[in-house]
Amino acid sequence: QVQLVQSGAEVKKPGASVKVSCKASGYTFTGYYMHWVRQAPGQGLEWMGWINPNSGGTNYAQKFQGRVTMTRDTSISTAYMELSRLRSDDTAVYYCARGADILTAGTNWFDPWGQGTLVTVSS
Amino acid sequence: SYVLTQPPSVSVAPGQTARITCGGNNIGSKSVHWYQQKPGQAPVLVVYDDSDRPSGIPERFSGSNSGNTATLTISRVEAGDEADYYCQVWDSSSDHYVFGTGTKVTVL
């Protein structure tokens, strides 16, 4: 079955960077966009951007431009999201989620989602 | 940027029908998707493309979309339906994805 498994929780100091991984299985990794979504404690969902695992192309939400970098390693079917210059308000659960088939690109929902990675930013 | 507005909360008795709205400018021209999120869990897609259900999602979950409002309807509500629900669209003008503010459904 299609599954996304994320790396474990992280604690970082303000100003540091964090890199979260998302390992895909059960489908062709390079065939689907991978999105990243975050959720601050008690808050709603916030889309951060996507990566095309085939080409490496990215599209970031304006809010995170300049601070976020999404990459992938196709040899191990893993996507990464790195967020730099962390602030306390970056404390959140970060999710990866599979998006559209790259060839058809006709869908724009997210399914399935990874289990989430809690990133805590605290001095 | 495109904004989606949901009521913060909806309360419903078991066996009744819950309706969760998602308001956006001319949202009827977009495809709307809905997610269920239970405490401590990742979101799960329950309706896509306004009214289609992924395999494994009960027929009790249905959706509609017209004008400035999309609606997720949960029929014959069960205790297990208690969760947060989010609508989502793709904004073609920005090529960005947008989530609604979220609605907490409480089963009385």
Listed by number, the residues of chain B in 76-105 with a beta carbon closer than 8 Å to a beta carbon of chain A are 86, 88-90, 94-102
Predicted confidence at residue A105, as pLDDT, reads: 76
Question: In sequence order, what DSSP letters do the residues of chain B get, joined into one string?
Answer: ----B--SEEEE-TTS-EEEEEE-TTGGGS--EEEEE-TTS--EEEEBTTTB--TTS-TTEEEEEETTEEEEEE-S--GGG-EEEEEEEEETTTTEEEE---EEEEE-
Judged by CB atoms closer than 8 Å, whether chains meet at B43 and A107 is answered as no
The pLDDT value given to residue B1: 87
CA–CA separation, B56 and A58 (whole Å) = 32
The chain B residue lying nearest A111, using CA atoms, is B45
CB contact, 8 Å: A89 with chain B? no
> What pLDDT, on a 0 to 100 scale, did the predictor assign at position A73?
98
Phi, psi of A78 (to 5 degrees): -130, 135
The pLDDT score that the predictor gives to residue A88 is 97
The answer to whether the CB atoms of B33 and A95 lie below 8 A apart is no
Q: What is the pLDDT of residue B101?
A: 98
Give the one of A47, A111, A112 whose C-beta lies nearest to B97's C-beta. Answer: A47
Q: Cα distance from A43 to chain B (closest Cα, Å)?
A: 9
In whole angstroms, what is the distance from residue B6 CA to residue A32 CA?
A: 29
Q: Does B63 touch chain A (CB under 8 A)?
A: no
Residues of chain A with pLDDT under 50: none
Closest-CA residue of chain A to B103: A44
pLDDT in tens, B31-87: 999 999 999 999 999 999 999 999 999 999 999 999 999 999 999 999 999 999 999
Residue B69 is predicted with a pLDDT of: 98
A65 vs B80: CA distance, rounded Å = 39
User: Inter-chain contact B33–A110, Cβ cutoff 8 Å?
Assistant: yes
pLDDT of residue A117: 98
Q: Is B5 on the interface with A (CB under 8 A)?
A: no
pLDDT for the residue numbered A98 = 97
Q: How far apart are CA A21 and CA B63, in angstroms?
A: 33
A41 near B CB under 8 A = no
Coil, strand or helix at A114: coil
Predicted pLDDT of residue B42: 98
* Whole-number pLDDT of residue B5: 98
Tell whether B19 lies on the interface with A, counting CB pairs under 8 A. no
